[in-house]
Structure 1
Amino acid sequence: MSPHRIALLFNANKVYDRQVLAGIGGYLTFTRVKWDLFMEEDFRSHALGIRQWRGDGIIADFDDPVVAEAVSALSIPVVAIGGSYADESQYPNGIPYVATDNQKLVRMAYDHLIDHGLQRFAFFGRPLEPGHLWAHEREMWFRRMTAADGLEGIVYHGSSVSAGGWGRAQEEMAEWVRALPKPIGIIAATDARARQLLQACVVADVPIPDEVAVVGIDNDPIVQTLSSIRLTSVIQGAEEMGRIAAQLLHQMLHGGDCSSTRILVPPSGIHVQGSSQHEHVRSPYVMRARHFIRQYACTGIKSEQVAGYVGVSRTLLEEHFKRELKKSVHQAILDHKLEVAMQMLADPKASMAEVAVRSGFTSLQYMYAVFRREYDCTPKQFLAQRRV
């Protein structure tokens, strides 16, 4: 019996879509179902000619209105994947729909910021454009949550970023950040938006997370790699969505009626990093110093350079650090380097030498010496203890 021919209409350039595709692949591997899979190499044209598709089924990204329109009228089995909606009329009729739960995504980010003692909140969304209805759904839930708590929910849409307009968009974002009441927690509609926000805070010279704490959505590893400040991000249950969608299509290919099925998949967790770990700090000197340390600790900065950035003498800055944090500036730099090293150690593909260099230690031997002094064990032993 020939395998079913299935089209997957997704943009593999996006981390969310790749995770959905991984979930589909996971289902096929686990069940040993054999499908002949088609994916358009150029995502910009993946809806062209789909009405002439001579296959057996489709799993498609219905957040893309062009794709949704192209496949909705097809007579073959179709499973839709997209965002959840409070307005039931936004869901397609007669097509099974697997959704990321936008309410729970925002709730997880909002509760995380509340847990860190913040009482002011903002949302960095997107302009209203085709294909971004999910972003406005997240914005709507943010407004509802802050209103229910009797708080003002500040919303900023910003611009649709292009290379030509990036400079102006960043400056506008920096001006918005400067004008915000502080301290404040900001939820970004995606990690990509969150990365732009982190860059704007650096341009605006606004300390993160002391004055602005940021949470994104997607847990995109590329964003982590490109950001000097590690981003806290809500992890969507995208792989689970892919598995469920593949299971529904498998049932439909064998005569099952799933046309009225609608499944909302909650987030799978939150990856907590430095961008959201707000602590109340009274000294503006310590606040600015920690902002500088988070950006440049792994480049080999010294205490004198931190004091120079803050604009005070090293002696005065040390006094403020001892009073506020009960540690020296040098220890704060070292703590950040150790934190980065510990995060990298969790990646089995990273060599020890790479971890040492990228976390700012002058040599592998020095990193080992610091781990023994601070934790009384080697980096590998520390990682094993943490896993236990």
Structure 2
Amino acid sequence: MPAHKHVALITNANKYYDRGIVKGVADYARKTGRWSVYFEDDPLTKMPNLRTWAGDGIIADLEDEAVVKAIAGVKVPVVGIAGGGGVAARAKVSYYVDSDDRQIGCLAADHLLERGFRHFAFAGLPSTPTNPWVHARQEAFVERVQEAGCDCSVFIGRYKTASRWEALQKEMVKWLKKLQPPIGLMACDDLRARHVLEACRRAKIHVPESIAVIGVDNDELVCDLAAPPLSSVVQNTHGIGAEAAALLDQLMRGRRPKSKWRIVPPLSVACRQSTDITTMEDTLVADAVRFIRENVSRRIAVDDVLDHVGVSRTGLDQRFKQQLGRTVHQEIDRVRLKLARELLRSTDLPLDRIAARAGYIHAQYMSTVFRRSLGRTPGQDRAMAMD
């Protein structure tokens, strides 16, 4: 039987993102049954003494500059997570697993665009050597909304932490008051979104009526404590952890995987009150879109939407095309496909149950829609999300 491998898991246990990754690593380690893991939640002891530690491999969060410096010279295999590719290079880490930050920005933009916003904003952080992910999310978000013909204001600010809380709030309030509502705003993560929500409260700006806010990470404690509860992009942290563990396992076996850089896409958006609004100039279209979103799992058709709003198909299609650039039928198909993909990525439900929940007649028809729209089957789409 192969000998046990001693692995150091160097993460920040106070970060929700890292805790999800730890769970993914733990599940992989349990399946192998051959790992002993060094893991400490105390920030002062999260890293073993690498000069004396007799280990076989390391998985490390590279957002900590001290960690980057400490692991730069180690002789055992290292897989980096978080921080970005540039940080991995400085840490002399060849193998790296991270979030798809561009896809995160696009997913947040699509979530707000679907709600009819035409003016947007992004709240980021001052740049540091270990947070290139902020710029990647900002760039993708801005590009996505500009492609839709919309404008976007960007806030960076001088302060990135709550240690300068009052100064941070003062400059953020000043920025928010200059924006022309209604605004769809993405914050680079949930903590920055919390800063935005507090600034809105101080400025007496209503959320989501004047500014709808979405964060990233779906830290449930932060999201549920926020006022109002915060919508957030759900990252596949478990998948990142499992992927990092599998990669390290191969390295410790003496193998050299061809793919050194692995990017894991986000799962979905957890919609809460902070974006629970449809803002469109045409209130009838807004009502129809809301009806579709809330009832798509009931196998609704165009006639159901027409009955709800009391308008002819020709008239409603014209108004949909003016507001959204697509017909009522196309919007139903889009929302149904989006729901099916979210269920594929966030659950292990069988295809027949996913088809039923998304409002398809049966799984075979859902597969036909996937092949026609995406060029792949539902099973292939699920596998891509897990790769």
Q: Secondary structure at the match of 1:207?
A: coil
Q: CA deviation at 1:277?
A: 1.9
List per-residue Cα deviations over 1:248-297 (Å, max 9, x = no partner): 11122222113752111000111011101223389xxxxxxxxxxxxxxx
Q: CA deviation at 1:114?
A: 0.1
Q: CA deviation at 1:64?
A: 2.7
For the pair shown, which has the larger CA radius of gyration, 1 or 2? Answer: 1
After TM superposition, the score normalised by the length of structure 1 is 0.67
Q: Which amino acid in 2 is paired with 1:61?
A: D
Q: Does 1:280 align with 2:279?
A: yes
Q: Secondary structure at the match of 1:222?
A: helix
Does the aligned pair in 2 maintain the 1:63–1:133 contact within 8 Å?
no
Instruction: Give 1:302's aligned residue.
Output: none
Instruction: Give 1:61's aligned residue.
Output: 61
Q: CA deviation at 1:94?
A: 6.0
- Counterparts of 1:370-385 in structure 2 under 5 Å? none
Does the aligned pair in 1 maintain the 2:71–2:91 contact within 8 Å?
no
Q: CA deviation at 1:208?
A: 0.8
Instruction: Give 1:230's aligned residue.
Output: 229
Q: Which amino acid in 1 is paired with 2:58?
A: I
> Percentage identity across aligned positions?
34
List per-residue Cα deviations over 1:170-210 (Å, max 9, x = no partner): 23222221211111111001101111111111111111111
How far, CA to CA, are the matches of 2:88 and 2:225 in structure 1? 39
- Counterparts of 1:251-266 in structure 2 under 5 Å? 251-258=250-257, 260-266=259-265
Q: CA deviation at 1:129?
A: 2.4
How far, CA to CA, are the matches of 1:257 and 1:24 in structure 2? 20
Q: CA deviation at 1:125?
A: 0.6
List per-residue Cα deviations over 1:107-156 (Å, max 9, x = no partner): 10000000000011111011122422221222222333344444432111
How far, CA to CA, are the matches of 1:90 and 1:149 in structure 2? 35
Residues 271/208 of structure 1: CA separation in 2 closer, same or farther (3 Å cut):
same
Q: Which amino acid in 2 is paired with 1:110?
A: A
How far, CA to CA, are the matches of 1:208 and 1:51 in structure 2? 52
- Counterparts of 1:145-294 in structure 2 under 5 Å? 145-158=144-157, 159-163=159-163, 165-258=164-257, 260-280=259-279
- Counterparts of 1:282-361 in structure 2 under 5 Å? none
How far, CA to CA, are the matches of 2:118 and 2:51 in structure 1? 51
Does the aligned pair in 2 maintain the 1:57–1:78 contact within 8 Å?
yes
Instruction: Give 1:128's aligned residue.
Output: 127
Does the aligned pair in 2 maintain the 1:195–1:223 contact within 8 Å?
yes
Q: CA deviation at 1:247?
A: 0.9
Q: Which amino acid in 1 is paired with 2:277?
A: H
How far, CA to CA, are the matches of 2:256 and 2:101 in structure 1? 26
Does the aligned pair in 1 maintain the 2:208–2:273 contact within 8 Å?
yes
Q: CA deviation at 1:98?
A: 0.7
Q: Which runs of 4+ in 1 moved over 6 A?
A: none
Instruction: Give 1:3's aligned residue.
Output: 4
Instruction: Give 1:38's aligned residue.
Output: 38
Count of residue pairs the alignment pairs up: 283
Instruction: Give 1:75's aligned residue.
Output: 75
Q: Secondary structure at the match of 2:37?
A: strand
Residues 5/239 of structure 1: CA separation in 2 closer, same or farther (3 Å cut):
same
How far, CA to CA, are the matches of 1:116 and 1:203 in structure 2? 25
- Counterparts of 1:75-94 in structure 2 under 5 Å? 75-82=75-82
List per-residue Cα deviations over 1:209-265 (Å, max 9, x = no partner): 111000100000111232121111000111100001111111222221137521110
How far, CA to CA, are the matches of 1:109 and 1:62 in structure 2? 25
Instruction: Give 1:290's aligned residue.
Output: none
RMSD over aligned Cα atoms: 2.7
Q: Secondary structure at the match of 2:185?
A: strand
Q: Does 1:19 align with 2:38?
A: no
Q: Secondary structure at the match of 1:58?
A: strand
How far, CA to CA, are the matches of 2:254 and 2:280 in structure 1? 62
Residues 91/277 of structure 1: CA separation in 2 closer, same or farther (3 Å cut):
farther
Residues 71/258 of structure 1: CA separation in 2 closer, same or farther (3 Å cut):
farther
Instruction: Give 1:309's aligned residue.
Output: none
- Counterparts of 1:46-57 in structure 2 under 5 Å? 46-47=46-47, 49-57=49-57
Does the aligned pair in 2 maintain the 1:79–1:249 contact within 8 Å?
yes
How far, CA to CA, are the matches of 2:141 and 2:66 in structure 1? 27
Does the aligned pair in 1 maintain the 2:62–2:68 contact within 8 Å?
yes
Residues 88/22 of structure 1: CA separation in 2 closer, same or farther (3 Å cut):
closer
Q: Which amino acid in 1 is paired with 2:73?
A: A
Q: Secondary structure at the match of 1:21?
A: helix
List per-residue Cα deviations over 1:340-377 (Å, max 9, x = no partner): xxxxxxxxxxxxxxxxxxxxxxxxxxxxxxxxxxxxxx
Q: Secondary structure at the match of 2:213?
A: strand
Q: Which amino acid in 2 is paired with 1:53?
A: W
Residues 78/123 of structure 1: CA separation in 2 closer, same or farther (3 Å cut):
same
How far, CA to CA, are the matches of 1:17 and 1:274 in structure 2? 26
Q: CA deviation at 1:88?
A: 11
Residues 24/88 of structure 1: CA separation in 2 closer, same or farther (3 Å cut):
closer
List per-residue Cα deviations over 1:75-130 (Å, max 9, x = no partner): 21111112556x89968766211110000011100000000000111110111224
**Structure 1: 5+ residue runs without aligned partners?**
283-385
